Each structure stands twice: as C-alpha cells, then as structure tokens.
Structure 1
Amino acid sequence: MLEYRKAALEDEAFLFELYVETRREEWGALGWSESELLAFLQMQFDMQMRSYAMQYPHIDSQIVYMDELKIGRILISHTEQAVHLIDLTLTERYRRRGIGTELVQNVLKLGEQSGKPVRLHVLQHNPAKGLYERLGFKVTEDRYPYVAMEWQHDQYKWEVES
C-alpha cells in the first residue's frame, strides 16, 4: 500500500540519492571521478530544488512510501488554472511495477475533483511520456528537449482497478 508523507529536512539525503540514481548514467559518461560527479550532481540538485520553489511557490513535496520504505517522491502544485505534476520519481527497484501509474491516477483524481486540468512537462525521450499518453495526456507544446502535456477530466475517462 502506498503512503505519502510531507517531505522534511531529514529527507534531503534520500532525495539527493534518488536524484543521483536518475542522473548518474546521463552524466557518468563524462569520465569524471566519483567525487567530481557527486559534487556536480549536488549542484544540479540544489538548482533544481530552487527552480521548482521559484516557479511553484505553493509546491507540495511528498515522499512516497511502500511498507514503511521510502520509494520515491512526488511534487504537485495547485494553481487557479491547473494541478501541476512537477516531478514524479521512483527508485529503480520500484519502477515498471504499476506504482507510477497509480501515483499519476491519484493526481488525475485531484484534477477531476477540482475541475481543473492536470499539466506537466516531460523530456521528449523519457519513457514516462508513454505512460502519460496511455492515461490520456495530450501534447500541448513541443519545445525541445521537453514537451508540455495536459489531461482534461472531461475529455478522457479512466478507471482505477480496486
């Protein structure tokens, strides 16, 4: 069973480890030493967090748990115009098991309950783009390397298995 808990200062080490796990392959090919790579990734992580905070002042940062284990994070922001899915990251061990689908469907419920669209940006080549398309998101803007996508509660009906 999935649980959410508001991210706290003591979660920062986990969040950085999660970030490194998702970026190591991308940047590891540069041939840097481990300490150089980690210093670079720390700088990137810090910049990402500051950027999110500036763009979304009312960001809701949640740690995702399964059986009391931290398995990921989800960042959501509610604005007058939309529910924004800012980031959804799972540890490698918990990917491709339907958990991401469940988490996104929970965000879609928020959109449906509020009568607002759900919006996100995703890298063009990120495998999650296929998940978003399967759940009814449509591309609204294609600006390399990202695409903007939107889900409208009145344009797509989906069912959650219970």
Structure 2
Amino acid sequence: MEDEDLVFTAALYASTRAEELAPIPWPAETKQAFLLQQHAAQHAHYQQHYRGMDAMIVERGGAAIGRLYLYEMPTEIRIVDISLTPQARGQGIGAALLRDLFAEIAPRGKNVTIHVEKNNPARTLYARLGFTILDDDRGAYDLWQWRPAA
C-alpha cells in the first residue's frame, strides 16, 4: 500500500459501512463527510497502534479489490483489517487470502487473531476456516483466533 491508495481505501471503508448508514436520514454529503472522517481516524489509529504493519492492497487483474493489513507479534499474526469491495465479496477471495496466510505462518507455529464485530456476516467464514472466539467480552467486537494444527 502506498499513500495514493488512501483514496481507494476510503471508498472501500465507505462500502463496508453503507448498510449500517442506510437507515440514517442524513444527506448523502453528510454521510460522505462522516465516512471520510471515520476512515481518516481509523487510518491514524492503525498507524499509531500497529507500527510496522504490513498494509497490502488486494488486486485482481491489476485492479484494486480489497485490503489486508497484518501485524506480526511474537506468538501471533493479527489481522488488523481485511475487506473487499462489494463486487469481490462472496467469491471465495477472502477465504483464499486467509488460507494462504495460514499456509505461510503455520510452519512458524504462530496463531492468527482478528477482532470481528458481533454483527459481521463474515463470522460464518471465520468459523468455517477454524477460527474460534478467544474473548467475547470486548464490547461490539469479539477476538477470534486460528491455531495451526499441532
């Protein structure tokens, strides 16, 4: 990811919040301004709390379709963010990205963790791939974990 990718990641972020904001009776310009502010705050948070994270843009055929941010710790890899454009969702791309991650880090014996909103439809994907809830007392999020086979 490069600084010029922030325009794409802002639009991607907005797409992940569209359903949530749909019933709110704000004008489109107000929603857009809110989403830009929220994306900037999220980006700043990630930069502050996950220094050195591996921020990657997911591409298909040379076109950006998502993002994957990873942060390595001594015993785990934290998925800071994984998201795909609406057109790329539901096609197995997220599962393929995660399986590739598992294959890469399993020989190193590291776990994979991710915070997932309690109402995120991707929870079924994470469960299907072998993630389990490690901590469900984190407000709107649960901490999920995948462990390599012994």
TM-score where L is the length of structure 2: 0.94
- Superposed CA deviations along residues 3-61 of structure 1, whole A, max 9, x for unmatched, are xxxx1011111111111111122123221111111111111111111111222112111
Aligned to 1:113: 107
Question: Which of 139, 153, 157 is the equivalent residue of 2:148?
Answer: 153
1:28 aligns with 2:17: no
Aligned to 1:55: 49
SS of the residue 2:149 aligns to: coil
One-letter identity of the residue aligned with 1:152: R
TM-score where L is the length of structure 1: 0.87
Q: Distance in 1 between matches of 2:40 and 2:89?
A: 24
RMSD: 1.2
**Shift in Å, 1:108:** 1.4
One-letter identity of the residue aligned with 1:128: A
Q: Distance in 2 between matches of 1:24 and 1:112?
A: 35
Report matched runs for 1:2-21 at 5 Å: 7-21=1-15
**Shift in Å, 1:153:** 0.5
1:71 aligns with 2:65: yes
Q: Distance in 1 between matches of 2:120 and 2:29?
A: 27
Q: Distance in 1 between matches of 2:82 and 2:100?
A: 12
Q: Distance in 2 between matches of 1:110 and 1:148?
A: 21
Q: Distance in 1 between matches of 2:108 and 2:40?
A: 32
Q: Distance in 2 between matches of 1:114 and 1:36?
A: 46
Identity %: 32
Equivalences, count: 149
One-letter identity of the residue aligned with 1:54: Q
**Shift in Å, 1:125:** 1.6
Where structure 2 has 5 or more consecutive residues not aligned to the other structure, the ranges are none
Structure 1 residue ranges (4+ consecutive) displaced by more than 4 angstroms after TM superposition = none
- Superposed CA deviations along residues 91-128 of structure 1, whole A, max 9, x for unmatched, are 11111111110011112123303211111110112111
Q: Distance in 2 between matches of 1:76 and 1:130?
A: 21
SS of the residue 2:148 aligns to: coil
Where structure 1 has 5 or more consecutive residues not aligned to the other structure, the ranges are 1-6, 156-162
Q: Distance in 1 between matches of 2:124 and 2:7?
A: 30
